[in-house]
Amino acid sequence: MSFIENLSGLQAQKIRLLMHLRRRGITCSRTLEAIETIPREIFIPSTFQHQSYEDMALPIGLGQTISQPLVVATMTQALALTDRHKVLEIGTGSGYQAAILSRLCRRLYTIERHKPLLNQAEDRFSEMRLRNITAMNGDGMKGWAYQAPFDRIIVTAAAHGDIPNELMAQLAIGGIMIAPIGASDVDQTLVKIRRVSEGHYERESLFAVRFVPLLPEIAEETRDIDPEFNQMNAFA
C-alpha cells in the first residue's frame, strides 16, 4: 500500500490535488503552500464535502460557485504576489480565494454583492483568524475607490465586453489584474492585465474559463442561502 493510500480521506485527496496542480503547471511554491494550508472543505456545503479536493467548481448557493482549484491556483500564481502587496478581490463568494490570497499578501480587500455569502465568508475568516482581510457588501464593478490604488486586483466574475474603467483606474502603475472577460458563460477568457503607465495597459490571454457574470449593484436577496448550503463547519 502506498503512502497516499495510507492517509485518511480528505488528507489523501489534498495530496493528490497538489500533485495534479504541479503537473498542470503550478510551480509557485508559495501558491502551493497556501493551497495546502487552507482547508477547502470548510468553504464547501456539507452535501459536497466529499468532493472538496476534486478539481472542479462546486455550488455554494444563490447561484454562485467556488472555483475549481486549478483556476484558483492559476489566478493566484499569475498575480505574482509578495507580502508587500495590497490586493483587491471582486467577488468574495465562499471566501476560499480570499483565504488563499491572505496568506500571500500584506492586505486584502474583498467585495461581494450577495450579503448572505459575505456574512458566511466573514464567519470563516474569523474562525481561521485571517486578520488581514477587510470585506464589504458592495458593487464590485465600482471597486473600492477609497482604498485605491491596489498593487493587484483579481476579479472572480466575468466582465461582459471589458473590465469597467472605474475598476481599471484603481490598479496601481506596475500593478497586475487577473480577470475573466467574455460575452457569455461559454465564451470567456482569463486575461492578465498589467498597467504600464497612466493610460497604457498590456494584456495577455491565459486560457478559456467559465465564471458567473460580473453584475452591477448590491444583490436584492429574496431568500437566504438554502439550508444545505448554510452549514458551517468548525475549523480545527
Count other Cβ atoms within 10 Å, centred on residue 207: 10
Q: Has residue 127 been placed in a domain?
A: yes
Range of 206's domain? 7-219
Catalytic annotation, residues = 67
Look at residue 187 in the predicted model and tell me its pLDDT.
84
Tens of pLDDT, residues 70-127:
999 999 999 999 999 999 999 999 999 999 999 999 999 999 999 999 999 999 999 9
Helix and strand numbers, DSSP H then E, in the chain: 7, 9
User: What is the H or E stretch that residue 66 is in?
Assistant: strand 64-66
Rounded distance, CA 100 to CA 39, Å? 10
Look at residue 5 in the predicted model and tell me its pLDDT.
46
Q: Has residue 236 been placed in a domain?
A: no
Q: Has residue 146 been placed in a domain?
A: yes
Q: Has residue 177 been placed in a domain?
A: yes
Q: Has residue 74 been placed in a domain?
A: yes
Look at residue 9 in the predicted model and tell me its pLDDT.
79
Spans of the chain, pLDDT less than 50: 1-7, 231-236
In the chain, the percentage of residues whose pLDDT exceeds 90 is: 81
Rounded distance, CA 113 to CA 93, Å? 9
Exposure letters 125-158 (e unless 16+ CB within 10 A, then b):
beebebebbebbbbbbbebbeeebbbbbbbbbbb
- Residue 33 maps to which CATH number? 3.40.50.150
Domains identified in the chain, total number:
1
| 200: its cell numbers | 497604457
Given the DSSP bridges, would you call strands 133-137 and 150-155 parallel, antiparallel or unpaired? unpaired
Q: Has residue 228 been placed in a domain?
A: no
Q: Has residue 225 been placed in a domain?
A: no
Q: Has residue 133 been placed in a domain?
A: yes
